[in-house]
Amino acid sequence: MDHFYPPVAEVKLSELLSALSHALDITEGQPEGHSLRCCWIGLQIAEELELDERQIWELYYTLLLKDLGCSSNAARICELYLVNDLEFKRDFKLIDGSLPQALRFVLSHTGLKAGLAERFRAIINIFQNGGEISIELIQTRCQRGADIARKMRFSEAVAQGIGNLDEHWDGNGKPARIAGEAIPLYSRIALIAQVADVFQKADGEDAARKEIKNRSGTWFDPALAAAFHTVSGRPSFWDSLNSPDLHEIIYDIEPVHHASVVDEDYLDDIASGFAEVVDSKSTFTKGHSERVTLFADLIAAELGFSPERRRWLKRAALLHDIGKLGVSNTTLDKPGKLDADEWMEMKYHAVQTEAILSRISAFRELASVASAHHERLDGKGYPKGLKGDEIVLESRILAVADIFDALTADRPYRAAMPVSKALSIMAEEVGKATDSQCFEALRKALERFHPRVAA
């Protein structure tokens, strides 16, 4: 089984974070590759401004990780606007904040699927408290993003770059309403890059150029808007931006003297940072990835795994639900039974987990192990319907840890169960859904901590 946990000394930070940035794109409801395209756009502006290597390196990661806090306001958006958070976030980026546009947006996005009375209540609330609500939503997102960047060992300049992404040149941005050069340079560049990409994807190059020009002096620093105008006037700018090999171009433009190779400890920090992004998406996913990691590690220790193998498995556990960032909160937090479409959306998270993680060459095995956490021994699981021996031991451990946490945590449709009840429900499924050896290992490990509850 040694091939399951190869050393990862070969992983480049740029490759790792470009791949994981796809998880942020799906949370923001953006077309795939949004963060990578922002990275390209922002770096072209930086070159035009002749920023030094250190600044370009910091800007590179500010741009790739600008949406790190994105999942933290998704549940609140759903609750306030009664809408699918992914569609809301996608469309919200297209409005410019003027009152008529904002009103139209609220009316067309609030509670389309909800009953009339409920929709009315939500709209009134937004009209009465709209300003404070949007400040709250953006503040949560910005602070969270900056905090996670710090945990991933980025400099204060990167954290501040992410934390001030929604401030506008004229002081009418959010949440701090700072203006002009008081806004960190990286944030000013990232905002232009973000708006340019959203508009070029929705309506093409000319629309993007026009939008940046129109908002110069209000949203954007005029000098940076002018730099964008210059670089986006070159055909090669758009060719690279829309190239299928943009990820390769992005690896190549990382300043060489700062390019970092990720060691094992750093990789753990990045995995736990992304686990936090996943867990922040919903009250019902809060702490889930962390707890699954703890339970999986208890099982692995009980089964006598070596320290290296345990470490590898912990990483898979931290990232097992990264695909959930693509599931809307209307589905994730639904207090009742999911309909057929919602169930499809939910199941798709396991496919997304594999798609995101397998972009990292050293993570290929980890991707398939992590994405198999909903497979069942009897073949009735998902996403692939694997059976018996087709499910490797590591995935079986994740499945047991995942089910145990699902039963012992609050769900949208029921309260948390006591450990003893969860274990007796799980005992019924041994051999059908789950592996007996892994289940016994969990029971033994829990007994050590809580002799009575696990009995």
Distance in angstroms (rounded) separating the CA atoms of residues 106 and 210: 24
For Fe ion, which is the closer residue by CB, 192 or 327? 327
Does the protein bind Fe ion through residue 354 (CB under 5 A)? Answer: no
Least Cβ distance, residue 324 to Fe ion (angstroms): 6
Least Cβ distance, residue 409 to Fe ion (angstroms): 10
Q: Which of 93, 201, 281, 324 is catalytic?
A: 324
Least Cβ distance, residue 374 to Fe ion (angstroms): 6
Interface region with Fe ion, contact rule CB under 5 A, candidates 271-279, 303-311, 394-402, 417-425:
394-402
Size of residue set near Fe ion by CB under 5 A: 2
For Fe ion, which is the closer residue by CB, 39 or 325? 325
Does the protein bind Fe ion through residue 402 (CB under 5 A)? Answer: yes
Distance in angstroms (rounded) separating the CA atoms of residues 227 and 84: 36
For Fe ion, which is the closer residue by CB, 276 or 402? 402
Least Cβ distance, residue 319 to Fe ion (angstroms): 10
Least Cβ distance, residue 406 to Fe ion (angstroms): 7
For Fe ion, which is the closer residue by CB, 173 or 383? 383
Give how far the C-alpha of residue 403 lies from the chain's centroid of Cα atoms, to the nearest Å: 22
Q: Tokens 């701090």 sit at which residue?
A: 176
| Active site annotation includes 93 | no
Distance in angstroms (rounded) separating the CA atoms of residues 373 and 401: 9
Does the protein bind Fe ion through residue 147 (CB under 5 A)? Answer: no
Does the protein bind Fe ion through residue 166 (CB under 5 A)? Answer: no
Distance in angstroms (rounded) separating the CA atoms of residues 32 and 244: 11
Distance in angstroms (rounded) separating the CA atoms of residues 274 and 21: 10
Provide the b/e sequence for 91-128 (b: ≥16 CB within 10 Å).
bbbeeebeeeebeebbeebbbeebeeeebeebbeebee
Binding pattern to Fe ion, positions 61-90, x when CB under 5 A? ------------------------------
Q: Which of 147, 197, 321, 333 binds Fe ion (CB under 5 A)?
A: 321
For Fe ion, which is the closer residue by CB, 365 or 402? 402
Distance in angstroms (rounded) separating the CA atoms of residues 321 and 278: 7
Least Cβ distance, residue 17 to Fe ion (angstroms): 23
For Fe ion, which is the closer residue by CB, 254 or 321? 321
Interface region with Fe ion, contact rule CB under 5 A, candidates 211-219, 313-321, 428-436, 446-454:
313-321
* Residue 234 CB neighbours (<10 A): 11
Active site residues: 324
Site residues (CB under 5 A) for Fe ion?
A: 321, 402
